[in-house]
Structure 1
Amino acid sequence: MYFPTAGIECNPLLPFGVALGISFFTSMGGISGAFLLLPFHMSVLGYVNPSVSATNQFFNVLACPPGVWRYWREGRLVWPLTLTVAVGTLPGVFFGALIRINWLPDPTNFKIFAGLVLLYVGGRMALTTWKARHNKTESMRAGGSAAINPAGRQPATDRCTVLVWNTRALVFVFQEKNHTVSTRKLALLSLAVGLVGGIYGIGGGAIMAPFLVSFFALPVYAVAGATLFATFLTSVAGVSFYFLLAPFYPDMAVAPDWRMGLLVGLGGMCGMYLGARCQKYVPATLLKCLLAAILLFTAIRYLGQGF
């Protein structure tokens, strides 16, 4: 099948299958998988023009809702956390798209930038996971305390309950433990993450989820739904912005490749739902180690190609 905007030709089952596999594993950590789909597009398929970022965000638009719905159904979607992250990342996404088009159109420079971002995020997550390796809470298996009752609902201890949400702090209860985060710090971090996410074409979730887990010490089981939903919202804005900018750059492919986006999006929808459904049976520490390893591997690969 030929993809006109991307300027490539490939078997349609390939991007569909890769998107399904990637999103299945990454959705367990609250990440859509777009950050790994981008190297696949660029390095394997040869899709290197700026529209790859918009196509990646279109993947998020289609892939995230099934995972979000599953987390919401199980009572693990913290709405105040979701909205705070989304409001903070939206402005950054717009500015990030402008930077990507005007200053980072060359794939070589783009790979160096992406590699440095992923190296930092992956290194931070690996360090915090290593320090917390003896923490029983972090290594807890959700399968032991998150059993589904006959009605198909999560037990009360595994459902998130918001206690406080204002301009100063957000406090919620998960698994009988209070978790507190500064609303202002969260909003500022979200703004910076949105900027990087807009440039990279990932909506910010791949960076936000590790920060929430490592920097704010929030449980991965509780933040996954919030980061996926925030990724969905910011990706809708990002795709719209790239689409509106396309007429102003007639000599450059800026708008998404809708055909490619539909294929990877459908694969992502399947993988996202299955990953969200299976997440509660996977230890949190294992999820963190998996995400850190993938991030570091991708970062080293990108930096090697860029330099």
Structure 2
Amino acid sequence: MLFPVAGIEVHPLVPPAVAFIISFFTSMSGLSGAFLLLPFQMSVLGYTPPSVSATNQLFNIIAIPSGVLRYMREGRMVWPLTWAVVAGTLPGVLIGAIIRVTYLPNTADFKLFVGGVLLYIGGRLLKSILTARHCKANLEAAPQLLGQTKTLEFSLKRISYSFQNETYSASTLGIFFLTFVVGIVGGIYGIGGGAIIAPFFITFFGLPVYTVAGACLMGTFVTSIAGVGIYQLLAFIYPTQVIAPDYLLGILFGVGGVGGMYLGALCQKYVPATTLKILLTIFILFTAGKYTLGYFF
């Protein structure tokens, strides 16, 4: 099947199948799946113009709601954390999209930039696993004992909530500025920003992965809507570049992501938190390696 915008030809069942497999595993760690779909599209399908970032975000819009719905039903959505993520990443994604089209249209340059950031994040997460700094968040509680989150404080100064008889808190302004910077990277990459935020929440703020996954997915969903709109607008401003998303390809990816995202969110509570952190680290380092080494070889 020919996808004219992307300029590629592939069997129509391949995109949803790949998206299903990727989303099933990544959604357990608060990732939408777009995190790994981008290197798949670029390295396997040969889809490299800036519009690949917009197509990734279109996938997010279709696939993420099923996973978020599952977290909401189980009472594991930390809404104050979610709104802080959205508030910070939205302006960042706008800036990131402009940088991607204006200053990083070259595929190799933007791979190297994002690869360096991901390598740093993955290194921090790997270090936290090896040193077991967050042992409280890694208690291997029985899946059926996982409780709901409860908001204790939500102000401009601090966000605080309880989970499994433990209290977790973080600076609201700290989260906002962090998500703003990460949103810029997410806008360049085409993942909305929420995916990159998850390891920061785990390593720097000491928040349990069981509670940040839903917030990151919801943040990615909202910012992806804005991201697709921004890239579509930029397509009119830069008519000589392929910037607007490939809607047909994005929808096919999204269809597969819906099933994978929902099942991943459903199965997350049956997987130990340490295992989820290891999976997240592998995803990050794998992508960082692909991007960084690809620049030199």
Q: Which residues of 2 match residues 82-231 of structure 1 at below 5 A?
A: 82-132=82-132, 135=135, 137-143=137-143, 145-146=145-146, 158-231=147-220
SS at match of 1:217: coil
Q: Deviations over 1:121-158 (max 9, x none)?
A: 11111111211178264142452523xxxxxxxxxxx1
Q: Is the 8 A contact 1:245 1:254 kept in 2?
A: yes
Q: Is the 8 A contact 1:133 1:139 kept in 2?
A: no
Q: Which residues of 2 match residues 10-29 of structure 1 at below 5 A?
A: 10-29=10-29
Measured after TM superposition, the shift of residue 180 of structure 1 is 0.8
Out of 271, 276, 282, the position equivalent to 2:265 is 276
Q: What code does the residue aligned with 2:50 have?
A: P
Q: What code does the residue aligned with 2:16 have?
A: F
Q: Deviations over 1:67-86 (max 9, x none)?
A: 00000000000111100110
Q: Which residues of 2 match residues 243-254 of structure 1 at below 5 A?
A: 243-254=232-243
In structure 2, distance between residues paired with 1:13 and 1:141: 39
Q: Is the 8 A contact 1:205 1:231 kept in 2?
A: yes
In structure 2, distance between residues paired with 1:32 and 1:98: 23
Query: What is the aligned residue count?
Result: 296
Measured after TM superposition, the shift of residue 298 of structure 1 is 1.8
RMSD of equivalent CA atoms: 1.2
Q: Is the 8 A contact 1:133 1:285 kept in 2?
A: no
Q: What code does the residue aligned with 1:145 have?
A: L
Give the stretch that moved more between structures: 111-120 or 129-138.
129-138
In structure 2, distance between residues paired with 1:173 and 1:125: 23
Which contiguous aligned blocks of 4+ residues in structure 1 show a shift greater than 6 angstroms?
Answer: none
2:9 is matched with which residue? 9
SS at match of 2:221: helix
Which stretches in structure 1 are left out of the alignment for 5+ residues? 147-157
Q: Is the 8 A contact 1:111 1:303 kept in 2?
A: yes
In structure 1, distance between residues paired with 2:231 and 2:286: 29
2:61 is matched with which residue? 61
1:238 has 2:201 as partner? no
Give the stretch that moved more between structures: 115-124 or 231-240.
115-124
Relative to the length of structure 2, the TM-score reads 0.97
Q: Is the 8 A contact 1:141 1:282 kept in 2?
A: no
Measured after TM superposition, the shift of residue 96 of structure 1 is 0.2
SS at match of 1:255: coil
In structure 1, distance between residues paired with 2:71 and 2:44: 32
Q: What code does the residue aligned with 1:54 have?
A: A
Which stretches in structure 2 are left out of the alignment for 5+ residues? none
Q: Is the 8 A contact 1:142 1:282 kept in 2?
A: no
Give the stretch that moved more between structures: 167-176 or 105-114.
105-114
Q: What code does the residue aligned with 1:85 have?
A: V
Q: Is the 8 A contact 2:93 2:192 kept in 1?
A: yes
1:303 has 2:288 as partner? no
2:52 is matched with which residue? 52
Q: Deviations over 1:200-245 (max 9, x none)?
A: 0011122101111111000110111111000000000000111111
Relative to the length of structure 1, the TM-score reads 0.94
In structure 1, distance between residues paired with 2:62 and 2:222: 11
Q: Deviations over 1:174-207 (max 9, x none)?
A: 0011101110101010100101100000111221
Per the alignment, do residues 224 and 134 of structure 1 end up closer, same or farther by CA in structure 2, a change over 3 Å counting? closer
Q: Percent identity?
A: 57
